[in-house]
Structures are given as C-alpha cells and as structure tokens.
C-alpha cells in the first residue's frame, strides 16, 4: 500500500462494513431495541444513498428469539440458544426489511459458518456472491448461523480444531478484508478503546488513534459483557485481522445517535490505521480464513532465510513435523516456540517426515523430484506489518 493511502479520507471510501453487536441492538433484558436498530439503519441508508456499498454484519438473532419465546434472560444451554436463534433470525430479518424498505433499499440474508471460510472453494463462492449483491445495490446482512454452528456459542472450534472466527467481530473482519472494504466500523456499547477499564477507573482516557496493535495493547484489553460474546479483546483481534488486509477500522459506541457520521468525522471512537502492506486475497485466506492442519518446525537458519532473504522454505531447514496433513493444506511454521508464519505445504506430513533435513538431490533420489516445502508466494508471515 502506498504511503499516501494511509491518510484517513472517508470522502473517498466506496465500501464500508458495519458490525453491530448484541450490546448495541439489545435492551438490558436481552430483547431487541427497535429504536437502536432504526437509528443504525437510517445512518447506513444515508451512506448507501451517497452511492457507497454497505456490508452489514449483525448480531441479535438470539435476542430476537428470546422475546418471541417469552424468555427474560439469555439461556445458558447451547441447544436453547440455538432454538432462540432459529426462532429469532427470521424476525430479525423481517425487522431489518421493514426498516430498510422505508429507504427503498433491498437487503439479502447471508448466514455463515466456519466451514464457509475453511473450505477454499466455498470461501471464494461466498465472496463472489456478496460481490454480486453489492453490484445490484442490495445490502448483504450477515450473521453467523447459530442454528447449525456452535463455535460462537461454545467458544470452541469445530471438531476440536481452532475456529476461524468465534464471534461476529472476527466474521466482520474476514468479510471486510476479502471484500476490500475501505473501513470496518465495530459498534459496541463503549466509546472506544481506553488506556484503562472505564468501568473501574474513572481516570481512564479514550485512545483516539492506534497506528499498530501491539502485544501490550492486546494483553490490556478486557473481556466482553453479559449479553454479547465479543468483548474488547475480540474487537482488537478483529481490528488486527482487518488492518493486516489494508482496511481502516473503528471501534465506537453504537448506542450514540449519529455514531457512524461521528466516526467518519473522526470525533467518535478509536481509529486503527491499516497495515502499510495489505495482504492479497490468497494471503488473507492462508493467514486467517484457513485452518492450520499441522506444524512444520524449522531451524534458525531456515527462519533467517525466510524472514531476511525472501526465500521459500526448503526441506533442509525442517527439523520436525506435527499433525496429519495432506499436500496443499495450510500448516503453521514455527522456530522453537515462536510462530514464524503459515503456508500451503507442497508435501503431506508423511512425505515431509521422510525428507526433513535433506537436500534437493537426496529428495529427488528418494521421491523422484524435489520441491520447496512452502513456496514463497504461498507463505504469510506472523506480524506482516
């Protein structure tokens, strides 16, 4: 990304993604706040009428279902949360349809699971479909499909594997990055990122601009509230993902009237600058949307060749293999305990074990030909900025 694009210029933004969490859309008892929904729809409609593309990621299906089922508190059991989501999703979309139709705007429901991202063919088809909706001037309204996907509800991965996204914060960042959004606005119930917990420290001050998300900043982030699943830590993780893809990110208070306009005018929320070297679509999938199937352990010499010399990963630098994976699947690359990056491996785990530490001539004699373990163009480093 060229340096002059790092200037925040909202008048040039053509595509904006907005994510509204449960704490924005729900009342204190967990049921939907129709006034808050109407206010946000009016703001997004205003941007749409300016000719901008809008992608809307929403929570609220469970809260909607709670009201319809007469529940006063969010159920703890996953199966009951799924039941609430099943009942509430239709009502949630009906409410949005009524609100957007007042502005003459068509909407489209898009319900997603982790599998829609980990399977590359489905991932590409999904993004093609969203692009088609934007071209016909419809607003995609995206939510995780809680009826069939329990990764968000249970805070765990599928089948014991790490989930690509565990909440709608991560989901919105993945979509914003792949769809080349200019800005992702994460709406929550606080004014932005603070230097201390504002609920405990009256002297806490809001941080208006973050140029780089450091480990210290991530460690200082607190957890979420009682209604929503994604707290400030989740939003920082989403901001890190989206900024790596070259997207501006804002965290702001969705309970405030005119919050989106306030973000664009830089008087509301915390603004995160995009990385100076945004990842390509393929790199985004390798880095964030794919599930790692195993680990390739390398020595320090191989690590330095990757990080300093722009090399591909060769078998001679491999010292160990963990997990079971096939050729073409994504693996983590580690040197000791440190994560170096992720990449598409040209060998299966079994093959790689047989050639670890060997030179090309030895590999060719053993397998008939020798390839790089991970080609440079299929490698994404940890901390690309």
Q: What is the pLDDT of residues 180-195, one digit of tens each?
A: 999 999 999 889 998 8
pLDDT at 117: 79
pLDDT at 370 over 70: yes
Residue 202 C-alpha from the chain's centroid: 31
Strand duo 294-298 + 139-144: pairing? unpaired
pLDDT at 4 over 60: no
What order do you get walking across the sheet with 330-335 strand by strand?
Answer: 318-323, 294-298, 330-335, 338-344, 379-381
Q: Rounded to the nearest 5°, which phi and psi values hold at 53?
A: -80, 135
DSSP H or E stretch at residue 360 = helix 360-367
Burial class (CB in 10 A: 0-12, 13-18, 19+), 128: exposed
A 10 A CB-CB count for 236 gives 24
Maximum distance among all alpha carbons in the chain?
Answer: 71
d(CA 87, CA 109) in angstroms, rounded, equals 15
Query: What is this structure's pTM?
Result: 0.79
Q: What is the pLDDT of residues 48-83, one digit of tens each?
A: 999 999 999 998 888 889 888 988 888 888 899 899
pLDDT of residue 155: 47
Residue 187 contacts residue 17 (beta carbons within 8 Å): no
Who's near 28: CB < 8 A, 6+ residues apart? none
**158 pLDDT band (50/70/90 cuts)?**
very low
Residue pair 153/165 in contact (Cβ under 8 Å)? The answer is no
In sequence order, the 6+-apart residues with CB closer than 8 A to the CB of 238 are: 19, 169, 170, 172, 173, 184, 186, 230, 249
How far apart are the C-alpha atoms of 379 and 385, rounded to whole Å?
Answer: 15
CA-based torsion, 308, 311, 317, 322: positive or negative: positive
User: Does residue 327 surpass a pLDDT of 60?
Assistant: yes
The answer to whether 19 and 187 have CB atoms below 8 angstroms apart is: yes
C-alpha distances (whole Å) from 28 to each of 36, 63, 191 are 13, 11, 18
What is the C-alpha separation between 222 and 216, in angstroms, rounded? 12
Q: What is the pLDDT confidence band of residue 2, given thresholds at 50, 70 and 90?
A: very low
pLDDT recorded at residue 119? 78
């Amino acid at each position: 990304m060229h340096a002059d694009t790092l200037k925040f210029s909202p008048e040039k933004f053509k595509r904006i993604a907005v994510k509204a969490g449960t704490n924005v859309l729900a009342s204190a008892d967990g049921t939907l706040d129709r006034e808050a929904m109407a206010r946000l729809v009016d703001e997004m409609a205003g941007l749409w009428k300016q000719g901008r593309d809008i992608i809307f990621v929403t929570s609220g299906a469970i809260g909607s279902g709670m009201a319809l089922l007469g529940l006063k508190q969010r159920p703890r059991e996953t199966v009951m949360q799924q039941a609430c989501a099943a009942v509430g999703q239709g009502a949630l979309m009906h409410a949005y349809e009524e609100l957007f139709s007042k502005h003459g705007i068509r909407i489209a429901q898009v319900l997603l699971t982790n599998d829609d991202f980990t399977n590359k063919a489905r991932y590409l088809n999904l993004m093609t479909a969203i692009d088609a909706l934007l071209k016909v001037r419809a607003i995609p309204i995206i939510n995780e499909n809680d009826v069939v996907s329990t990764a968000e509800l249970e805070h765990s991965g599928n089948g014991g594997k790490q989930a690509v996204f565990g909440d709608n914060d991560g989901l919105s960042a993945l979509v914003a990055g792949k769809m080349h959004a200019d800005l992702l606005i994460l709406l929550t119930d606080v004014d932005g990122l603070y230097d201390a917990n504002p609920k405990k420290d009256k002297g806490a001050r809001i941080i208006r601009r973050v140029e780089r998300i450091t480990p210290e900043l991530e460690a200082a982030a607190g957890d979420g509230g009682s209604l929503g699943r994604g707290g400030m830590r989740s939003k920082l993780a989403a901001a890190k993902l989206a900024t790596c893809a070259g997207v501006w990110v804002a965290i702001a208070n969705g309970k405030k009237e005119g919050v989106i306009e306030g973000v664009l005018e830089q008087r509301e929320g915390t603004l995160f600058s995009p990385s100076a070297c945004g990842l390509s679509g393929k790199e985004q999938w390798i880095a964030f949307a794919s599930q790692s199937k195993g680990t390739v352990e390398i020595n320090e010499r191989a690590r330095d060749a990757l990080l300093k010399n722009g090399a591909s990963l060769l078998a001679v630098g491999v010292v160990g293999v963990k997990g079971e994976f096939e050729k073409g699947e994504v693996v983590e690359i580690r040197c000791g305990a440190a994560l170096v990056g992720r990449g598409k491996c040209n060998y299966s785990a079994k093959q790689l074990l047989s050639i670890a530490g060997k030179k090309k001539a030895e590999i060719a004699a053993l397998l008939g030909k020798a390839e790089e373990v991970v080609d440079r163009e299929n490698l994404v480093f940890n901390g690309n900025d």
